[in-house]
Amino acid sequence: MKLLRYGEVGRERVGLLDTDGGIRALPEALGDLGGDRLSPAGLAAISALDPAGLPLVDGQQRLGSCVARPGKFVCIGLNYRDHAAESGLPIPAEPVVFGKWTSAVVGPNDDVEIPRGSEKTDWEVELGVVIGTTARHVDAEVALDHVAGYCVVHDVSERAFQLERGGTWDKGKGCDTFGPIGPWLVTADEVGDPQALRLWLEVDGHRYQDGDTADMIFTVAELVSYCSRFMTLEPGDVISTGTPKGVGLGQKPPVYLRAGQTVRLGIDGLGVQQQRIVEAT
């Protein structure tokens, strides 16, 4: 299934993408697309519905984040060898884990704001993993059993805040609008192997990133297992799994986002995002 949230900011409803690309409204009684709604039982209740019998949503709809109010937004750095190389950093011996503030979460096509004082706002296309079953100290062999589905994540980053202002990376990762999620959550059964997905990103039509999740240093299963050693992963948590080469910081000379530009990014089978870059007010 492809599940989504549509409507005005703060008033999103939950829908299902039908086989013709139309949005079918799910019953409001099912609640929002987060927390226990993403558990196996919650998804089974949606799967039992006949899409043809659900109301077809008319017109062009704004899409919200396909996960409502993630409890945790966990990110993995340097998880592709080619990206570590372009960053001039060694291959990590263990996953590099940092957090993105949940206030950064926006819809897949909402504007991305360049923060006040920023000169190095950068792009990163990533595979997002949405947790569906509580995971604590789980083995990699069963880790994917805890995944509800997958989505596109744009891990927008401000490199000066991240790397030049002292402390941890978090300051450059969690600015408002720095976490577009969606357009839809594709359930794990439909995705199959998460290590066989092509991902790409363009700025103003120029292709900067073109990679494959097969090139991850640590697989999705390994990441879920690893993170579950340090925190309890709960339904609705999102793990963003790292980006391939081609970020702005890695260009020679570096290239950063400017107001007025358009970013498009996507992952095969998981949909496409498109954002206008604007100055923060």
| 91 backbone dihedrals φ, ψ, rounded to 5° | -65, 125
Per-residue tokens: 261: 């530009």
- Residues listed for the chain: 281
Nearest CA-CA partner of 175 in 86, 230, 106, 232:
106
CATH topology of domain 73-279: Fumarylacetoacetate hydrolase; domain 2 (3.90.850)
Q: What pLDDT score was predicted for residue 88?
A: 86
Q: What pLDDT score was predicted for residue 60?
A: 87
Q: What pLDDT score was predicted for residue 123?
A: 98
| 165 backbone dihedrals φ, ψ, rounded to 5° | -110, 10
Yes or no: say if 135 and 146 are a contact pair by the CB < 8 Å rule. yes
Q: Which residues of the chain are under the pLDDT cut of 70?
A: none
> Side chain identity at 243, as an amino acid letter?
T
Q: What pLDDT score was predicted for residue 53?
A: 94
- DSSP, res 137: S
Nearest CA-CA partner of 142 in 150, 133, 129, 151:
133
Q: What pLDDT score was predicted for residue 24?
A: 97
Q: What pLDDT score was predicted for residue 55?
A: 96
Sheet with 262-267: strands ordered across: 112-114, 271-279, 262-267, 198-203, 206-212
Per-residue tokens: 108: 């897949």
Q: What pLDDT score was predicted for residue 144?
A: 98
Q: What pLDDT score was predicted for residue 59?
A: 72
Q: What pLDDT score was predicted for residue 1?
A: 97
147-166 pLDDT, tens digit per residue, is 999 999 999 999 999 999 88
Q: Using CA atoms, how far apart are residues 4 and 251, in angstroms rounded to an integer?
A: 34
Q: Using CA atoms, how far apart are residues 115 and 158, in angstroms rounded to an integer?
A: 8
Q: What pLDDT score was predicted for residue 240?
A: 98
Q: What pLDDT score was predicted for residue 89?
A: 83
> Side chain identity at 273, as an amino acid letter?
Q
Q: What pLDDT score was predicted for residue 58?
A: 83
- Domain layout of the chain by residue ranges: 2-53, 73-279
Q: What pLDDT score was predicted for residue 167?
A: 78
Q: What pLDDT score was predicted for residue 160?
A: 95
